[in-house]
Amino acid sequence: MPISAEQEALETQRDALEVHRYAAWGLIPENAYTRIKKLMEALREEFGGPEIEPHISIVGSTLMTEDEAIGAFNGGCNEVEQIRCKVETLETSRFYFQCVSLVIEITDDLKEKTRWFAGCMNRPFPCMPHLSLLYGTLTDEEKKRAKEKVLAMDPTITELEFIMSRVALYQVNFADRTQKSWVKLREGNLKLS
């Protein structure tokens, strides 16, 4: 039986009042995006894992209603200036969501701006700034091969620098490792420096 417009409006209102997990991601500019996406696709082809939208985690998880999350996210966009990012190193980790990552150099500027954005979203601290290339659970040998593959494909990836000027707000469910249930709610621009 089709749902009435009134029922749909009530469900939308109810969803907006429910508490969910939200995350804020720094988006990668086009010139770096293409380079990173190529590495991600090659790693996924060999090692599996979900498709990842290239991003730098700023706020990893915060519980809010959708309206609160959107308001907090908009506040962060209005308050925080663009952030200069420089890759410091390529690392592997035992954590699923950081299996193979580019670690971003923690400068005073990055620390201050990401902390401010996290504060806008009611988090006392931001995420460790990283750009995951692969989500997964790999053996130590597979991680070593993945790291070698990245450096063979793009030997200067650890010298990558860019300006993060856009961010995205996602509703996330960390139990869904495929990310198929994750929803991008909006994108925003950081203030010009």
> Looking at the annotation, which residues are catalytic?
55, 130
Secondary structure of 31-73 as H, E, C letters: HHHHHHHHHHHHHHHHHCCCCCCCEEEEEEEEEEEHHHHHHHH
Question: Does residue 181 sit in helix, strand or coil?
Answer: coil
Q: Which of 54, 56, 87 is nearest to 161 (CA)?
A: 87
CB 66 within 8 A of CB 171: yes
Q: Which of 140, 186, 148, 142 is nearest to 167 (CA)?
A: 186
Residue 45 pairs in a beta bridge with none
Q: Is residue 13 within a helix (H) or strand (E), and if so which, with residue range?
A: helix 5-17
